[in-house]
Amino acid sequence: MEITINLKTGDKVPMYEQIYEYIRDEIRNGRIASGERLPSTRSLCRHLDVSRSTVELAYEQLLSEGYIESVPYKGYYAAQIEGLYQLTAPQGEAQTGSGDEREKYLYDFTPSGVDLNSFPYNAWRKLSREALADDRSEMFRLGCPQGEYGLRNAISSYLHQARGVNCTPEQVIVGAGNDYLMMLLCTILGSGHKVALENPTYRQAYRLFANMSYEVCTVDMDAKGMRTDRLRESGADIAFVMPSHHYPLGTVMPIRRRMELLGWADEEEGRYIVEDDYDSEFRYKGKPIPALQGYDGSGRVIYIGTFSKSIAPAIRMSYLVLPMPVLERYRERCGFISSTVSKVDQLILQKFIEGGYYERHLNKTRALYRSRHDTLLASLKELKIPVRISGENAGVHLLLHFHDGRSEEELIRLAADCGVKVYGLSEYCVNGESAGSAEGGVNTADDDAVILLGYANMNEEKIREAVRLLGRAWSITADQKQNKPLKTE
């Protein structure tokens, strides 16, 4: 066989690569058949008028990728590749943009907002600069799978002091967000569990458990939170709750219900309570409600907390606090899984907490949210809309309960028509089941509609203006039913 290649000398592509590509394509196309003997490197270099090492380089590449085979003392042969699989061209079709289809709203009462104007940019920048100073290669070496000890220590001190959580740094696992940590938790606990969640609940948690192949169910709430009698009936062995401030209802689980829940967990080996303590930093009446974990004497509560609400969603740092039996399982089953947070980010956060920046930032944000909260309540009270308010003592949203026959859908549409985006409670209900039963103050069975208003993202002026628009959107015309007065509780 003789191979003639139209080599381009002035080309960017090196000579050996042109030879390699030509022969490769000939073999792919079948023009050089399998088993066919290739010219020796010596004859080919003479034929092409290139150096012998150029041809040797090309043959070596063809050999490494398996297009040709070398038979000692005989030479090079095209490998047998045809007929196995059809090699093809790129399959990807380009799609446009990143799909940022923001609708045209003047105001958005999103309940998952966070004020980012108050983000402590200067402090973060300073700590970030410090973390990267001095070319410390230690910062870029793989760290502890659980998270760096310094950060875990800072978190456990903070949790002890601010949330009444009893833990050592050894029990803390730092991870890149709640979603990841829930996935990790499922991997730690293994399959075969049934998880009970409140209804309504944080739907992200519900979907995650379901996707991790856990059996999931919802358990009715009353004014005190998840009903333990129903929990017992459900057959679940894991209860996912938000005792300090339920999302989205804002319910605080009273001590009696907490103890019932701990009692439930203690009844059988292997039962656990997952406590999602997502935003307990913001409370407008009295001290923060202590975490359920602090009451747990027998290692039944798995605590999950996050800096997404209290610092910023995009910093991607959350933490699990594992009770001893689960910590042992973690070490056995998942201790080898690398950390999901970079060391640099961990160090920044650690210094942010230790240096008092976190506390100052929390105080600042608390004051900010309180003022928005007060403005929203005051503005709502001025409206002549028959509505009851709940969930207003903590967090960054409140609920409006309507009893005038209008549906959630209708109220959302009316608000949208005036340029205001509001959110319906049904978004948080699983499988369209109704939210809660009819015993207490926060539940909704007797409501025609429940609307959520989040205020973290809006300043006072915007809140007043948006509520004025809502007043117009939701006003009840003369031919509609009697106006019930607005009441708060």
Site for a copy of itself, residues 13 to 72, rule: CB under 8 A: 16-17, 20, 57, 60-61, 64-67
d(CA 136, CA 132): 7
| Contact status: 141 vs a copy of itself (CB under 8 A) | yes
Q: Which of these segments, 87-95, 370-378, 462-470, 475-483, binds a copy of itself (CB under 8 A)? A: 87-95
Give every CB contact of residue 119 below 8 A, 6+ residues apart in sequence: 311, 312
* 171 near a copy of itself, judged by CB under 8 A: yes
| Least spacing, CB of residue 87 vs a copy of itself, in Å | 5
Q: Considering the rule CB under 8 A, would residue 390 count as an interface residue with a copy of itself?
A: no
Which 257-286 residues touch a copy of itself, going by CB under 8 A? 257-260, 262-263, 266, 285-286
Q: Is the bond preceding residue 248 a cis peptide, omega within 30 degrees?
A: yes
Query: Across-strand partners of 173?
Result: 320
Q: Please give the C-alpha separations between residue 322 and each of 173, 181, 291, in angstroms, as whole numbers.
A: 8, 11, 14
Cis peptide before 120 (omega within 30 of 0): no
The letter for the amino acid at 484 is K
User: Which residue, chain included where needed, has tokens 């005190």?
Assistant: 224
Token representation of residue 475: 């006003």
Work out whether 393 is an interface residue with a copy of itself (CB under 8 A).
yes
Residues in contact with a copy of itself, counted by CB under 8 A, come to a total of: 113
d(CA 191, CA 214): 7
Decide if residue 460 touches a copy of itself (CB under 8 A).
no
431 binds a copy of itself (CB under 8 A): no
Binding pattern for the stretch 229-258 against a copy of itself, x by CB under 8 A and - elsewhere:
-----------------------xxxxxxx
Min CB(295)–a copy of itself separation in Å: 5
In the bound state with a copy of itself, the residue whose beta carbon lies nearer, of 48 and 252, is 252
Q: Which stretch binds a copy of itself (CB under 8 A): 271-279, 315-323, 376-384, 461-469?
A: 315-323
Which one of the spans 75-83, 268-276, 373-381, 402-410 is the region binding a copy of itself (CB under 8 A)? 75-83
Distance CA 394, CA 280 (A): 8
Stretch that binds a copy of itself, among 306-314, 402-410, 438-446, 481-489 (CB under 8 A): 306-314
Residue 162 contacts a copy of itself per CB under 8 A: no
Any contact of residue 452 with a copy of itself (CB under 8 A)?
Answer: no
- Provide the mask over 94-113, with x wherever binding to a copy of itself is found by CB under 8 A and - wherever it is not: xx-xx---------------
Nearest distance, CB of residue 22 and a copy of itself, angstroms: 14
* Contacting range for a copy of itself; rule: CB under 8 A; set: 35-43, 123-131, 232-240, 364-372: 123-131
Confirm if 147 and 174 have CB atoms less than 8 A apart: yes
Minimum distance, C-beta of residue 135 to a copy of itself, in the bound complex (Å):
4
214 binding a copy of itself? (CB under 8 A): no
In this chain, which of 30, 297, 356, 441 binds a copy of itself, going by CB under 8 A?
A: 297
